[in-house]
Amino acid sequence: MMKQSSVAALAILVACVATVTGGSAFAQTDSGKARAQAGSPRAETPAKEGAVPYEPPPSADPEGAPAQWQPVLMVTSVEVIRSTRGSELDIVRVRGLTSTDGWDNPQVVPLTKGAPLDGMLDLLLVAQAPSNAMEPTGFSTADAVFVLEPGHPYKGIRVHGATNRVALKVLPGYTEVAPIRNDCAKCVGKYFAAKGAAMPAGRAAAEVVRETDLPTTLRVIKATDGIGKLETDPNRLTLMLDEDGRIEIAVWD
């Protein structure tokens, strides 16, 4: 188990330098644990013009702090459903994973403006991130919807997350990718094996956490390392190791 005092101290340290960003252009979405409000703002996309982002006013948490909008950790699937009753309408459904519990109000942000040269619409899956560093609780799902008006110029969709992007090149259609294998919810107390390194001597596979199974946004702090910068990123997993290479602290910070 993680020492609560160590985790609390690291969380306070990170919180002291936390930066907060305001919301920008979002489309109406829906998620497993936190449901977005009803009334779907749609991206107006006149023919040959492309997506025109919807821009809501900056939101705030109950304590009055501006929402910290961040890309979700990973996009896992992109689906486009086409309604043919009346005017043809494309509905884009994006699913992804957040690093921990506590992410709210997932949204889809259109990155493309105008008609793109390659015909692909670029979108970004974001949500309101926790305001403090979080212990690994296991990945949580995010589910968002984006509506394209009749006559849009796009032949495909690319959706970006913090660590990947997923492209759907034929509309309508569906594509998915395999999720990250280890959410680090049970990392503490196990031995860390860096990419390309041999398994720790005398340790069974169940006692070892491989770097290749973890998110690419990984920071490893060895027993002799300092901490050069106080930068926050709710999609970055930080592991602190002891002298034997065992994980003492794991935190998304």
What are the backbone dihedrals phi and psi of residue 62, each rounded to the nearest 5 degrees, phi first? -60, -25
Confidence at residue 91, expressed as pLDDT on a 0 to 100 scale: 96
Domain ranges of the chain: 21-176
> Which pLDDT score, from 0 to 100, does residue 86 have?
84
The first and second tokens of residue 162, run together, are 């913090």
pLDDT value, residue 65: 56
Model pLDDT, residue 226: 93
What is the model's pLDDT at position 13? 35
Contacts of 128 (CB under 8 A, 6+ apart): 59, 61, 67, 68, 69, 70, 103, 104, 105
- At 185 the three-state DSSP class reads coil
pLDDT < 70: residue spans in the chain: 1-67
- Distance from C-alpha of 65 to C-alpha of 44, rounded to nearest angstrom: 30
For the record, the structure tokens of 76 come out as 């896992």
In single-letter form, the type of residue at position 122 comes to D
Give the per-residue pLDDT at 194: 95
CA distance 94 to 107: 9
Inter-residue contact 53 to 110 (CB < 8 Å)? yes
Classify burial at 64, counting beta carbons within 10 Å of its beta carbon; exposed 0-12, middle 13-18, buried 19 or more.
exposed
